[in-house]
Structure 1
Amino acid sequence: MWISYVLGQAVSFFFTLFRMIPLAWNNHFSRRRFPQEGDVVISLTSHGDRLDRVHYTLESIARGTVKAPVVLWLDEKDYRGEWPKTLRRLVGRGLQVRCSDGLYGPHTKYWSQFREVAGTGKRVATVDDDMIYPEWFLERLLFVGDLRDDAVIAYRAHRIELRDGDLLPYVKWTAADTCRASFLHFATGVSGVLYPASFIAYVVEQGDVFRELSPRADDVWLHACALRSGHRIRQVYASPRNFAVVPSTQGGALVIGNTLMGGNDEQIARVYDGDDVARLVAASRTED
C-alpha cells in the first residue's frame, strides 16, 4: 500500500510543479484573507527549512471554496527566528502563527489547538505542511462531518487487519475501501482529517501521555482515542484520496521510520491494550 502511494506521488511530480505556479503567484498578489473566527479551525505545524515552502500548502487552503481560520504552530526556535517573506505575506492576510511548547513532535499539529478549542463546540481539521490541497478540500470534509458529527472524518484511511485475535503488522494493513464508518479504519493525517468537538474533548482529557507511548506516531494515538471514546472513522470517499506533495519537503522521512522500520508497530504495541484489541476483534465480527 505504501509503495503505491510513493509511486503515485512520483508520477505526479511534474504535474505538481505546474500546480505550484499559481500558488506562488497568489502568495505575491492575492488579497484573499483568512477568517479569524469560525466553528472549525484548520491546524498544522512546520519546522526548519520546510518554512520556506509551507506557503504552497497554505495558499492551496486559502483558495478553498469554504474558508476557515488557519493556525500554524511552530516550536519556539522557529517562532522566534526570522520567517521567510512568503510566510510573512500570509500573516498579513490573517494567517495565525502560534508558539508551541516544543515537546510534542508530530502531535504538535493538533495538540495545542485541541486544548485551545476544547469545550467550545468547535471542530478542528488537521493538514500536513507538505501537501497541495484541492479547492474542495474543506467543503467536502465538512459536508461529511455534518452528516456524522460522531465520527472522525478522513480523506485517507487504512483498514486494521487482524488474524487469530491479534493485530497484523502495520505494513500488512490494507487501504480502506468503503465510506462506511468503522472502528477498524485508521485515519492517516497526510490528506487531512476532521475531528468533532466530542472527540477533541476526550483527547484533551487524556493529557499528554502520548509523549511516552507514541511520541512519533500521532495517528496511532488518535486512533486509540477514537476507539476508546466510541468515535468511528469514516473515509470521505470509498477509496483513499492522495493529494500532491510539495517537492523537496522530504515529507516521507517519518513515513519511512514508522512504516518501513517498524516504528508504528513498536508504538502500537505500547498504546493498544487487551481491551482495545478486543474492541477491534468485535468490530471485525460485527462489521464484516
Structure 2
Amino acid sequence: MVDIGRISRALRRRARRVVVWFWVRKLGVLSRASHEPLTHPGVGPVVSLTSYGTRIQTTHLIIESIGRGRLKPSRLILWLDEEEALANLPKSLQRQRKRGLEVLRTENYGPHKKYFPYVSSLSEHSDPLVTADDDVLYPTDWLEVLERRAQSNPQDVTAYRARRVSFDESGLAPYEAWPFSSDGSPSVLNFATGHSGVHYPPSMLDRLRELGTDFLNKCPRADDIWLHWTALRTGRRVQLVHEQSSEFDTLAGTQAGGLRHLNITDGENDRQIRATYSAEDLRDLAAAHLASGTDGQR
C-alpha cells in the first residue's frame, strides 16, 4: 500500500530545500551588491555570534539574513579567535564591515565566544544582547518578534527554542531525555538552547561579566548550561517566543565538527551539568518541577 503521508512529508522536505536554496543564493547576491547598512545604532538589541574554521567562509550569508531583518541590531558583532582568519578575512566579510558589521578578536572560549567577549567588554550594560548561531538562516521578522516578546517580561530570558528540565525516579533526568518545551510561560525549567536565538537582559549581562571565566572550569563546551545556571542563580526565568519551541533552517554543509554529538550523544552535557549545578540548584529545579505538575508538554 502506498504511504501517502510519507510521500507528502518527503515532498514538503524537498520543497523546503528548494526554498532554502533560493534564499541562500539571494543572500549571496545581496552580500556582494548591497550597500544597505546591516545595523541601526541605538534601535535594536546587540547581536553577537562567533565562527571558526571553514564555516567562516559562509558566515556572511547568516549575517546578511540578520541584517536584512525588519528590525536591525544596534550592533552586529562577529567574534573570531583564529589569527589567520582575522588577517585574511574573506572579501564577503570585508564588504559587510563597511556596512556596519564588527569583526573583533577574542580569546578561544569555545562556544562561550558568542557572548562572553561582549559582556566582558563593557563595565556596565544598558542594551540587551541577542546571541545567534553561524549556521542558521534567520527570517526577516526574527529579531523583531524576539524583541517584542522580550518586552513582555524584560528581566527574563527569551528564546525561540528551549528544552524542559526533567526529573525521573533517580533525580535529574539525562539531558538527552529532556523534551523540547511547549510551555510559553516564563519558567526556570525552560532551558534555552542557542540555535534559533536567545535574548538576554542587560542586568544578566552584568552578572555574566562578574562571574568571569569560571565556565571554563565547569562547562567549557556548553554555553547553554552556563547561561541557564546564571539565569537560575539570578532569579530569572526563560520564556519562549511562541507556545512551542521553534527553529529555523540551517545552512547545508555546516554541521560537521559541531558539539552536538559530543555533548548529547556522548553524554558530555550531563557531566558538565553535574559540575555546574549545586545540590541547592537541583533542589530549586526539583521544587519548580513538582509545583508545575507538568513537564511543559501539551
Corresponding residue for residue 15 of structure 1: 19
- 14-23 or 257-266, which deviates more: 14-23
Are the equivalent residues in 2 in contact too, given 1:130–1:251 (CA < 8 A)?
A: no
- 161-170 or 86-95, which deviates more: 161-170
User: Would you say 1:98 and 2:111 are equivalent positions?
Assistant: no
The equivalences for 1:1-288 within 5 A come to: 12-35=16-39, 37-38=41-42, 40-68=45-73, 69-102=75-108, 104-117=109-122, 119-164=124-169, 166-250=171-255, 253-288=258-293
Tell me which amino acid in the other structure corresponds to 1:97: V
- Say which SS state the counterpart of residue 276 (structure 1) adopts: helix
Are the equivalent residues in 1 in contact too, given 2:38–2:68 (CA < 8 A)?
A: no
Q: Unaligned stretches of 5+ in structure 2?
A: 1-9, 294-298
- Say which SS state the counterpart of residue 97 (structure 1) adopts: strand
Select the structure with the greater relative contact order (CA < 8 A; seq sep ≥ 6): 1
Could you state the TM-score of these two structures normalised by the residue count of structure 2? Answer: 0.89
Structure 1 residues 222-242: Cα deviation after superposition (integer angstroms, max 9, x where no partner): 111111110100010011111
* Structure (1 or 2) with the larger CA radius of gyration: 2
Corresponding residue for residue 3 of structure 2: none
Are the equivalent residues in 2 in contact too, given 1:71–1:95 (CA < 8 A)?
A: yes
Structure 1 residues 105-138: Cα deviation after superposition (integer angstroms, max 9, x where no partner): 0000000111224523211000000110000111
Corresponding residue for residue 4 of structure 1: none
Identity within the alignment, %: 36
Are the equivalent residues in 2 in contact too, given 1:170–1:264 (CA < 8 A)?
A: yes
Work out the CA distance in 1 between the residues paired with 2:146 and 2:256: 23
**CA shift at 1:81, angstroms?**
2.6
- Say which SS state the counterpart of residue 180 (structure 1) adopts: coil
- Say which SS state the counterpart of residue 245 (structure 1) adopts: coil
Are the equivalent residues in 2 in contact too, given 1:118–1:197 (CA < 8 A)?
A: no
Structure 1 residues 68-123: Cα deviation after superposition (integer angstroms, max 9, x where no partner): 11000000424533011111111111101110022x10000000111224523211
Q: Unaligned stretches of 5+ in structure 1?
A: 1-6
- 247-256 or 24-33, which deviates more: 247-256
Are the equivalent residues in 2 in contact too, given 1:159–1:184 (CA < 8 A)?
A: yes
**CA shift at 1:25, angstroms?**
1.1
Distance verdict in 2 for CA 1:10–1:220, change over 3 Å: farther
Distance verdict in 2 for CA 1:40–1:214, change over 3 Å: same
Structure 1 residues 217-264: Cα deviation after superposition (integer angstroms, max 9, x where no partner): 000111111111101000100111110101111267211111111111
- 278-287 or 191-200, which deviates more: 278-287
For these two proteins, the number of residue pairs brought into alignment is 280
Work out the CA distance in 2 between the residues paired with 1:138 and 1:52: 23
Tell me which amino acid in the other structure corresponds to 2:20: T
Are the equivalent residues in 1 in contact too, given 2:188–2:237 (CA < 8 A)?
A: yes
